[in-house]
Amino acid sequence: MDTPETRSSASTRTRRDVAPVGAKSGNSGGYKRIVYIICAVAALGGLLFGLDQGFIANSLATIDAHYRLGVQGGERYSAILATGGIAGALLSGIFARFLGRKKSLLLAGFIFTAASALSAMLPPLPVLSACRFALGFGVGVASFVVPLYLAETAPVSIRGSMGTLFQLMITIGIFLISLTNVFIARAFSRPSTSLPLMFLTITLFAAMMFFGGFILPESPRWLMLKRRKEQAIAVLQRTMNTQQEIDAEIADIEQALHGPQGTGISIVLRGYFFKVLLVGVLLQMFQQLVGINMMIYYSPTIFGYAGITGLLAAMTVPTVNMLFTFPAIHLVEKWGRKKLLYVGAVAMLVTMVAAGVAFQSIAAHPATISGTAKAVLLVSVVVYIFGFAVSWGPVAWLVCSEIFPLDGREVGMTITTMVNWTFAGLVMGNALSFMKAHGNASIFYVFGGFCVLAIVFVAMFVPETKGITLEEMEFNLKKGVPLRRLGERPNAHTMPVPNEAGGARK
Ligand code: BGC
């Protein structure tokens, strides 16, 4: 496990730190070139997450044509990514701590490159499946290490935005791979030609991440944890502009390292921790049980059931998903997390029911699918994806990075990330079979049902985390404030004054 103290920047990060990407640093004319390289490599980490997650949608037919997987085989192959993701998330804390952040990033880059290149050789199915597991493993590692590395290395004024950039890059990755796979499939009809090219698209970006990783500096916080102060100072000299900034950063890290040391898994037994863990676990569970990855993975297939094909079927979901992640970046601070979760869940509920009704009418007259049914289905999917992208997509991850107390943040985030992948795998591995067994409409009603439960859960248990520092929230939590009121600012005189390193930065 990674110690929380090394993550002091992440932990002390508050909404006050958030500044637009590209904002100028206080004392100088801008950031040094290395800062942009750090951001670019990190962005590639998010992009690869998206490339692997979005790969299936427009390649499934091609994979099936070559490997003859069938519905269940296709589901199994898709879902292996999630199994790898769970393993990667579980071990990433250990890698990050013992290998360091940079080597863990290189490891993820290497796994992405090797596994996608090997897949491009169209090996026997068990090897192809092992490669998909490896890709998932890389995604699991990257989804933990990239935000951690950024939080520890990027200048404070862009740390918050970097976190959001990571989520945005995931959706851009999904979009990009959907688009390239469509065009490759159209340009080359033979799967033995098109499938390698699809995998090699991933290899291209993976190699950029792997080789780009070599020029990255190690995280100064990890170096300090390993008592390599000289090297930490040398890194800060590369990323920061003034000696004053460097001195402040070193003092900050040293102070944090003197704070409470990281707790192991036993922290889950503490009542106050268990409460927020439950919130995080249920948030991530519902993020998947509202059905997003059925749409991401199988929308072309689902549209196909309704007689909608071509570019519209292939690109609607990834495009809407990417576009509506942009407003989320702004709305999450303006409206707050809970309001967005409600808006998203209601939009998804209504549209899931509408899509279910459309599919029922299609099932009643399969020979003559009406224009109305098609239109309802299309609009439902668009509004559904809008509902997810603007809310549950970014907010579930954001709230999970906010609610845990400092001494258990990495344990909490490891568990909640694993829960996310577990339920993602469950959805990916069963959605199509469920539709085949119970009728196409059925699964939409099931996901609609989970939207209702998600709304009740948000109303009863989720705290509003907007506008409160992480330290204030931790104070409330340990004082026994009920979950729903955890985000209310504590009385000024009951709250201890935060110290330089552990308190909120202005
Ligand atoms: C979810 C992924 C999903 C992606 C879609 C993420 O927040 O965790 O499972 O594929 O959003 O944009």
The pick from 285, 286, 287 for probing ligand 1's pocket by mutation, whose C-beta has the most ligand atoms within 8 angstroms, reads: 287
Percent of residues in the chain assigned helix, strand, coil, to nearest 5: 80, 0, 20
Q: How confident is the model at residue 8 (pLDDT cuts 50, 70, 90)?
A: very low
Q: How far is the CA of 144 from the centre of ligand 1 (A)?
A: 14
Q: What is the mean pLDDT of residues 325-336?
A: 86
Q: How far is the CA of 215 from the centre of ligand 1 (A)?
A: 29
Q: How far is the CA of 393 from the centre of ligand 1 (A)?
A: 6
Q: Return the ligand 1 atom nearest residue 296 CA.
A: 10
Residue 80 has pLDDT above 60, yes or no: yes
Q: Indicate which residue's Cα is closest to atom 11 of ligand 1.
A: 393
Q: How far is the CA of 226 from the centre of ligand 1 (A)?
A: 34
Q: How far is the CA of 325 from the centre of ligand 1 (A)?
A: 11
Q: How confident is the model at residue 329 (pLDDT cuts 50, 70, 90)?
A: confident
Residue 55 has pLDDT above 50, yes or no: yes
Residue where the block lists tokens 């390649």: 59
Residue 412 has pLDDT above 70, yes or no: yes
Q: What is the mean pLDDT of residues 350-360?
A: 94
- Residue 59 amino acid letter: S
- Residue 125 amino acid letter: L
What is the C-alpha R_g of the chain? Answer: 23
What pLDDT is attached to residue 13?
38
User: Which pTM was predicted?
Assistant: 0.83
Query: Which residue blocks in 243-389 are alpha helix, DSSP H?
Result: 243-257, 271-289, 292-305, 310-323, 325-334, 337-364, 371-387
What pLDDT is attached to residue 270?
86
Q: How confident is the model at residue 489 (pLDDT cuts 50, 70, 90)?
A: confident
What pLDDT is attached to residue 280?
96
Residues in Cβ contact with 166 at an 8 Å cutoff, skipping those fewer than 6 apart: 42, 43, 45, 46, 146, 147, 150
Q: Indicate which residue's Cα is closest to atom 7 of ligand 1.
A: 393
Q: Indicate which residue's Cα is closest to atom 1 of ligand 1.
A: 393
Residues with CB under 6 A from ligand 1: 53, 170-171, 174, 287, 292-293, 296, 321, 393, 397, 420, 424
What pLDDT is attached to residue 4?
36
Tell me the residue length of the chain: 506
Residues in Cβ contact with 309 at an 8 Å cutoff, skipping those fewer than 6 apart: 300, 303
- What's the rounded Cα separation, in Å, for the pair 338 and 395? 9
Q: Return the ligand 1 atom nearest residue 167 CA.
A: 7
- What's the rounded Cα separation, in Å, for the pair 369 and 362? 6
pLDDT for 174-204, tens place per residue? Answer: 999 999 999 999 999 999 999 999 999 999 9
What pLDDT is attached to residue 26?
39
3-state secondary structure 462-478: CCCCCCCCHHHHHHHHH
pLDDT for 293-321, tens place per residue? Answer: 998 888 888 888 888 888 999 999 999 99
CA angle 246, 141, 326 (to 5 degrees): 75
